[in-house]
Structure 1
Amino acid sequence: MASKAVAVVPQQEQQQQQPHKEGGKQKKVAAEGKNRQVLRDIGNLHGQAPAAAPDKTKKPITQPVNGKSKFDNATKVVAVVENDKISGVNRHGVASRKSVRAFTSTLSARSKAAASGLTSKLQDLKLDIDTADADNELAVVEYLDDIYQFYKLSQDENRVHEYMDLQPEINAKMRSILVDWLIEVHHKFELTPETLYLTVNIVDRFLSVKLVPRRELQLVGISSMLLASKYEEIWAPEVNDFVCISDNAYGKEKVLVMEKAILGKLGWCLTVPTPYVFLVRYIKASGPSDNDMENMVFFLAELSLMDYTSMILYCPSMIAASAVYAARCTLDESPLWTETLKHYTGYSEDELKDCAKVLVTLHSAAAESKLKAVHKKFCSPKRGAVALLSTASGLSAEPL
C-alpha cells in the first residue's frame, strides 16, 4: 500500500466485504468511509469540502518527480481511472513513459513538413468529383472514367476538318448566319442543350462530305435539327413545326428527303462526342455548383459554335476545357486552373491559352456583332446576364 492508488468503494460494499468486528474498530472504519469520495478527477480536490485527516502512514498518489510535483499550480494533470490505469500517471505514482507528444516536437514536425513542401502538395491533390454521386445508380460513377476515355479517343474519328474550300456556293459567313438562326429556333422550341450541339455537328459533318447549293443550306439546318431532336428529346418537334419556322421555304417532303440523305451520308452515326458532353464533366470538375460559372461556360461554348474559321482547328474536348478556363479567367477564379481540372480534362493551363484567347475575342466582339442570338440569349437575367460582364483580364483579346 506504499505507493498504490487505493480504489475507494461505497460504504455498503465495504461493510459487506470486511469481516464483522467488534466494538470501536468497526465504527472507526464506517466513520472513515463517510468522508471518502470516489476517485474521478484529481483536479476536483480544489474547492471541495475538506476530507478526513489523511493517514500519515499512506504515501500520496503523486510522488514528486525531479523535485517537482505533477500537480503544481502552473500545470495540472487530469488523471482519469480507466481499466485500473490512470492516464498521465501510472499506478505507482511515477510519470508514464507513454505520454502525449510534446507540443514542441509537434511544431518541429510541422515546420519540417512545410519546409519539404508537403503542405503545398496536400492543397494541390486532385479531388474526387464523383464522391457525392456514389449512391446514385444513374450517375454510373464506376464507368465514368472509361466513358470519357472513350469519348476522347473517338472524338478524332468524328472530328470535322476544314471543308469550306470544297463548297463552291457556301462560305464561313453563311454558315455563321445559319447557326445563329438555328440557335434562335432551338431557344424558341425550348430544346435541350444536347440537341443544339448535335445539330451543329450534323451540319458540319454533312457539309464536309456533300456539296450543298446555297438555296438548300437552311434545309440542311432544319433537317439536322429534326434528326438531333429525335435523338435527344423526349418530345421532339414535328416536321411541320420546322416547315412553319422556316416560313414554308421548304415543304414537308423536302425535309424528309434531306433527312434521309443526311443519315445516308453519315452512315446513321449520331452517337458522337460533341463539346457538350465534355462541358458537363469539366464544369463539375471546376468546383461547387455556381450558376454564373455554368452560364459563362455555356455562353463561350455557344459562341464557339458560330465561329467556323477559328474553332475548326480544335477538338471538342479542348474547346470545352478552354471554355471552362476562359470562364474562370473572366470571373477571376483563383487558382485559374487546378490539379483537379488538369486531371479530368487532361490539359494543362498552357495548352488551353491559345483556344481560350479565341473565345475571349469572340466574347469581346459579341455585343457589336450583327449575329446576336447567343449574346441576346445570355443577356437575360435567367442566364445571369453573363454576356454583359467584362472580358477576361488575364487573356488578351486579339482581333480576328
Structure 2
Amino acid sequence: MSLSSCSDCFSDLLCGEASSSIISSGGGDFSPEYSSNFDSQPSDAAESISGLLEDERDLAGISSCRAIDQPIDASVRAEFVAWILKVQRYYGFQPLTAYLSVNYFDRFVCCCHQLPKMSGWPLQLLSVACLSLAAKMEERLVPCLLDLQVEDPKFSFEARTIQRMELLVLSVLDWRLRSISPFCYLPFFALKIDPSGTYTDFLTTRAKEIIFSTFKETSFLGCRPSCIAAATILFAANDLPKFSLITAQHAESWCDGLHKDEIMSCQQLIRQDVFKIRPKKQPKVFPDLRVTNRASIDSTSSLLSSPSPSYKRKSDGVDENEETLIKRVK
C-alpha cells in the first residue's frame, strides 16, 4: 500500500467520522480458531529455537523498526503503549498479545513516517485497532470492540470505525501479522541456566516483567527478540546468587545465532532505560532465629496462662477493659 493511499485513508477516517460517532453502540467481534502459540515448545526444543532464530532473521525487516523511524514523540508513544498494557492486564490477555499490539503499532507508524505528525484521536484509534487484531490472533475469547475500550481511553469509537482502522492497519502491514516475540525463547533459556528446573518459573516470570518494561522505550526497537530474551533472563538470573556469575558469553553458547555483543548492548539499554529510576536492589536479609533457654520459655508460659482482663476494640481504635464497658452500659 502506497503512502499516498495511506494518507487518503486517514483523511477518509477523519472526514467520515464526525464527533457524534465517536461514542455509539456497535457490533461484536469473532474469535478465530488459529493461534500462533509461540510459547509452546515441541519435544525437540533446540531444533525449535533454531527455527525461530532463522525466522527471526527472515522477519527482521518486517517486524522491527528503529527509534529514528518513529514519527511520534517517545512520550506520546509511551502513553498509548501504557494504555495497551493496562487493557492487557484488565482482561488477562497473554503477554504475546500485548507484544503483538505494540509491534503492529510501531510498524504502522514506521511505514507511515511520511504522514503528518500523528497525535490525539488517530493514535488512540490505532491503539484500539492494533490491540483488537492482536487479540484475534492470540486469545480464545475476544471482547467486543466497545468493551475493549476500557481503562479510561482518551477517545472511544464506534465498532465500524475501529473495523475500518483494522483494515487500514492490515493493508499497511501487507497482512503480515506474524512476529517472533522474546517470550518464546524464555523457557528454553531458563532451562539452559537451570537444567534442574527448580528456578525456571522464577526466571521466566522475572524476565517477562523486565520485557514488559521495555515496551515503552523506543531504544529497544532495534533489538532482536532473541537478544531481549537472553538479556532479560540474565538479569533474572542475577537475582539468584546461585546463577549470578552467568554472563552474555555463556548465553552465546546456548544456541547458534546469539551474539554476546548484541546481548551486552541490550543489557546496557536495560540498565539505562528500564532500571534508570529504580533504586539499587538491596540483598534479602533473613531474620535471625532467636534461641531461647528453657527458663525463659517457662516464664513466658506462666505469663500467658495467668488470668488477664479481656479487651474489646473500640471503633476509634482505643482499647477498653470489658468491666469498664459494662459499667458504662449500666
For the aligned residue pairs, the C-alpha RMSD in angstroms reads 2.9
May I ask how many residue pairs the two structures share in their alignment?
A: 233
Residues 313-357 of structure 1, C-alpha deviations (whole Å, 9 max, x = no match): 322211111111222224332431475762236435454222112
SS in 2 for 1:151: helix
Gaps of 5+ in 2: 1-39, 284-330
Write the deviation string for residues 198-257 of structure 1: whole angstroms up to 9, x where unpaired: 111111111111236312111111110100000001111221212355365222222111
Letter in 1 for 2:254: H
User: Structure 1 pair 218/247, CA: closer, same or farther in 2 (3 Å)?
Assistant: closer
Paired residue for 1:306, among 189, 213, 216? 216
Counterpart AA for 2:86 = E
Aligned counterpart, 1:293: 203
Amino acid at match of 2:208: F
1:352 aligns with 2:263: yes
Structure 1 pair 297–138 and aligned structure 2 pair: CA distance change class (3 A): closer
**2:186–2:204 CA contact under 8 A, matched in 1:** no
Unpaired runs of at least 5, structure 1: 1-136, 369-387, 392-400
* Structure having greater relative contact order (Cα 8 Å, sep ≥ 6): 2
Separation in 2 of the partners of 1:244 and 1:335?
A: 43
CA distance in 1, matches of 2:102, 2:64: 11
Q: 2:226 aligns with which of 317, 330, 333?
A: 317
What does 1:177-326 correspond to in 2, within 5 Å?
Answer: 177-210=79-112, 211=115, 213-215=118-120, 216-245=122-151, 246=153, 249-287=156-194, 288-290=197-199, 291-308=201-218, 310-326=219-235
- In 1, Cα distance between the equivalents of 2:278 and 2:167? 38
Question: Following the alignment from structure 2 to structure 1, what is the Cα–Cα distance between the partners of residues 94 and 70?
Answer: 32
In the other structure, the counterpart of 1:153 is 57
Q: Which amino acid aligns with 1:293?
A: L
CA-to-aligned-CA distance 1:78-128 (integer Å, 9 cap, x gap): xxxxxxxxxxxxxxxxxxxxxxxxxxxxxxxxxxxxxxxxxxxxxxxxxxx
Does 2:42 align with 1:139? yes
Q: TM-score, normalised by structure 1?
A: 0.52
Within 1, Cα distance between the matches of 2:252 and 2:68? 34
CA 1:283–1:199: 2 relative to 1, 3 Å: farther
Seq. identity, %: 21
Q: Is the 8 A contact 1:239 1:252 kept in 2?
A: yes
TM-score normalised by structure 2 residue count:
0.62
When residues 269 and 165 of structure 1 are mapped into structure 2, their CA distance, relative to the original with a 3 A threshold, is closer
Separation in 2 of the partners of 1:223 and 1:316? 23
